[in-house]
Amino acid sequence: MSDKMARLKIDGIEEEIVLPVYSGSTGPVVIDIRKLVNEGVFTYDPGFLSTASCESEITYIDGEAGVLLHRGYPIEQLAEKSNFLETSYLLLNGELPSPEEMNDFENSIRYHTMVDESIHQFLLGFPRTAHPMAMLCGVVSALSAFYHDDLDIEKDDHRLLAAHRVIAKMPTLAAMCYKHGIGQPSMYPLNPLGLAENFLRMMFGTPCEEYKASPILANALDTLFLLHADHEQNASTSTVRLASSSGSNPYACIASGIAALWGPAHGGANEAVLDMLGEIGDESRISEFIGRAKDKHDPFRLMGFGHRVYKNYDPRATVIRGICDEVLDELGVGNDPLFRIAKRLEKIALEDDYFIERKLFPNVDFYSGIILKAIGIPTSMFTVIFAMGRTPGWIAHWHEMLSEPYRIGRPRQLYTGKTHRDYPA
Ligand code: CMC
């Protein structure tokens, strides 16, 4: 696969170091630096801006061009023609399913939606005020206690079963965390329903009366899950891979991904968007906040704007923007002050030189926060929804990594601390 060579000359090292250069099926060339360590040299790349941590066939992103492909299919086409479960199958298996394969996959997901009853008891140990991400992290990790001894991660069929289980159980667990927080009984999944519809029922239904989700809202949520399903080696997926590289239990590894997702620079951004809109409070204060975002001495950033990889419009944001309008129309809340602030903010930022020059476009979290708020999902559950959407991506990367020979992830460092010194006598 190496078709070129890179030559590295380091002052003080006599021999030139020759490194293979690889070309992927598309995207930038990659210098293979693995043998540098034999020369006593490390590379330094905090934040991994220039580092490919693995080889993968799942997702391709061209941030400059605003392209996102899953197994080659553009996200816009998947959002229009596919659905969350079919896209999950695609991520996991590499190809779109035949009708029979899809039927089997859906049945398997339905079959695994329930969780062990003791998970209910486990949740009772959390304070009601706990953040749902704290609870989700705990209950997903707890699944490892139920599925460990008979799980052989070296076997393909065991890995696929674990993947189906975690995709199927995540909506049940997410809704259980919410219900615990508000003191209502958990709703069991109702398997004839589609995944998003089932989730809405487990969130908003009670055992006392029938709940019927609006098909427009269920579809919007399904597309939102699909748009979050994978995003190559982002912080949470890389965390899942790193945790998995030691051969750990997959549910514990997914819990580590949930922990990485929680922060406001990653999955927590949709929650931060709504907090920010609430803080702005009134259209008259938008320019004050835009001014703060531009001020180098103020740590404030416009939440929901900018992306580490997309330096063009995020293709997911284009899709979700349309869904956002549909949902606001369906619910008749477009004139709500919060949504008006969001729309004004989007317009101003898109026209402002500071944001244009830095290519800071509204990202997927800007719109997903608005949609979720309109559907009635509380802000603290936003990142949980992101985690549900990202689960197929995490587990597909885990499955891919374990399908090939792999090594434990072990980065090195540029040490700048004290050198050897003796303990005082
Ligand atoms: N508001 C104001 N200025 C910003 C923002 C923002 N949201 N984002 C970046 N900048 C400025 C930054 O100050 C810097 O300016 P200068 O060049 O003058 O110093 C320039 O843009 C480049 O910023 P950076 O920090 O080098 O960009 P990054 O690629 O390291 O950070 C980011 C990407 C997403 C962490 C950042 O844009 C951000 O904090 N955005 C707000 C949080 C957010 O919406 N996060 C969700 C990301 S999408 C979901 C996901 O995939 O997880």
> pLDDT (tens digit, 9 = 90+) per residue, 376-402?
999 999 999 999 999 999 999 999 999
b/e code 110-132 from CB counts within 10 Å (16+ = b): bebbebeeebeebbeebeeebbb
Both tokens assigned to 301: 């950033």
> Based on the number of CB atoms within 10 Å of its own CB, is 87 exposed (0-12), middle (13-18) or buried (19 or more)?
buried
Q: Tell me: pLDDT of 79 over 90.
A: yes
- Quick one: which of 110, 162, 155 has its CA closest to 140? 162
CB under 6 Å to ligand 1: residues? 231, 234, 265-267, 269, 293, 301-308, 358, 360, 363, 365
Nearest protein Cα to ligand 1, atom 9? 306
266 classed as catalytic? yes
Rounded to an integer, what distance in angstroms lies between the CA atom of residue 207 and that of residue 324?
A: 30
179 close to 171: Cβ distance less than 8 angstroms: no
Distance 272 CA to ligand 1 centre (A): 13
Which residue is closest in CA terms to ligand 1's atom 36? Answer: 306
Identity of the residue numbered 423: Y
Tokens 């598309």 map to which residue? Answer: 26
Span between the terminal Cα atoms of the chain, in Å: 58
Q: Which of 308, 311, 368 gets mutated to test ligand 1 (max ligand atoms within 8 A of its CB)?
A: 308
Is 45 within 8 Å of 413 (Cβ atoms)?
A: no
Query: Which of 276, 295, 307, 310 best tests ligand 1's pocket when mutated (most atoms within 8 Å of CB)?
Result: 307
Q: How far is the CA of 146 from the centre of ligand 1 (A)?
A: 40
What are residue 282's phi and psi, to 5 degrees? -150, 145
Cα–Cα nearest to 133, from 167, 184, 173: 173
- List C-alpha distances in Å: 226 to 88, 122, 208, 255, 333: 8, 30, 31, 20, 24
Length of the chain as a residue count: 425
Instruction: Note the pTM of the prediction, 2 decimals.
Output: 0.91
What's the number of CA atoms in the CB half-sphere (13 Å) around residue 272?
17
pLDDT in tens, 20-73: 999 999 999 999 999 999 988 999 999 999 999 999 999 999 998 999 999 999
pLDDT recorded at residue 26: 93
Residue located nearest, by CA, to atom 16 of ligand 1: 358
Residue 328: pLDDT band (50, 70, 90) is confident
Residue 307 known to be catalytic:
yes
What is the model's pLDDT at position 413? 95
Asked if 392 contacts 85 with a C-beta cutoff of 8 angstroms, the reply is: no
Ramachandran class of 305: left when φ > 0, alpha when ψ lies in -120 to 50, beta otherwise: beta
Q: What is the rounded distance in angstroms from the CA atom of residue 368 to the CA atom of residue 226?
A: 12
For residue 257, give the nearest of 271, 243, 240 by alpha carbon.
240
* Closest C-alpha to ligand 1, atom 41: 303
What is the per-residue pLDDT across 165-180, written as a single tens digit (0 to 9) for each? 999 999 999 999 999 9
Beta bridge partners of 20: 5
Burial readout 253-282 (b: 16 or more C-beta within 10 A, e: otherwise): bbbbbbbbbbebebbbbbbbbbebbeebee
Residue with the two structure tokens 């490919």: 52
| Share of residues in the chain with pLDDT > 90 (%) | 80
* Structural contact between residues 171 and 192, judged by C-beta atoms closer than 8 angstroms: no
